[in-house]
Amino acid sequence: MHVRHQKNQGGFTLVEILVSLALGLLIIGGAFTFFLGNLKTSSNMLSQSKLQQEIKSTADFIQRDLRRAGYKPYGSAATVSNIYTGKTNGTLSKENCVLYSYIDERGLLRVGGFLLDNNRLYMYTNKSTAITTCPADAATNSNWAVLTMDSNNKITVFEPSIEDDANRPLLRITIQGELNNDAKITFALEEQIVLQNMPTKTTANSGS
């Protein structure tokens, strides 16, 4: 009589399968956490880049226009010799508004201004009407238009200050902003503007 020997059957025990599943879940969980971390970092970097871009482009625009303060063509009798800095609210500790004017090449009065209101920068749009008061309600004032549009950002600081210089007055503009949903992500910028047309520093009236 022949005796047949059965070969051992290959396979995994239940314990081995459970251990393998547990290890697999740990690896997948770690990879998913790593992916989410990278995604959040990339999102924050993109948001910060947009914040920086908005503040830089806004500062460049403000700087270009402010360089015209006090300008008038040769022979013009118009009076545009003042540049005003002030506060939209008298209780503020620092100035947050600048107003100025100049005469264009056609001999027309052009008026400009920038201020901070409710975490947004605004610009004066009624170019033909002089102004010496920094209003407290730019958001609802038809003569002012919002300059910073990104709803994800808020401007926390806008400080114009004029320093007397031996040759030309110097205007410093400080702008700082942060993300609405993350106050830790901030960006600050300071511009120095030489006022070539020699406007005289004057204090603006407060809007309230």
Residuewise pLDDT in 10s, the chain (208 residues)? 555 555 555 666 877 777 778 787 888 877 767 666 665 666 677 888 899 999 999 999 999 999 999 999 888 877 888 999 999 999 999 999 999 999 998 889 999 999 999 999 999 999 989 999 999 999 999 999 999 988 889 999 999 999 875 567 899 999 999 999 888 889 999 999 999 998 989 999 998 6
Q: Is 52 exposed, middle or buried (0-12, 13-18, 19+ CB in 10 A)?
A: middle
Instruction: Give the residue extent of every domain in the chain.
Output: 54-206
Name the β-bridge partners of 190: 174
Rounded CA separation 41/54 (Å): 20
Could you tell me if 96 and 114 are in contact, meaning their C-beta atoms sit under 8 angstroms apart?
no
Give the single-character DSSP code of 135. -
- Predicted TM-score of the model (pTM): 0.78
pLDDT of residue 1: 53
Give the model's pLDDT for residue 167. 65
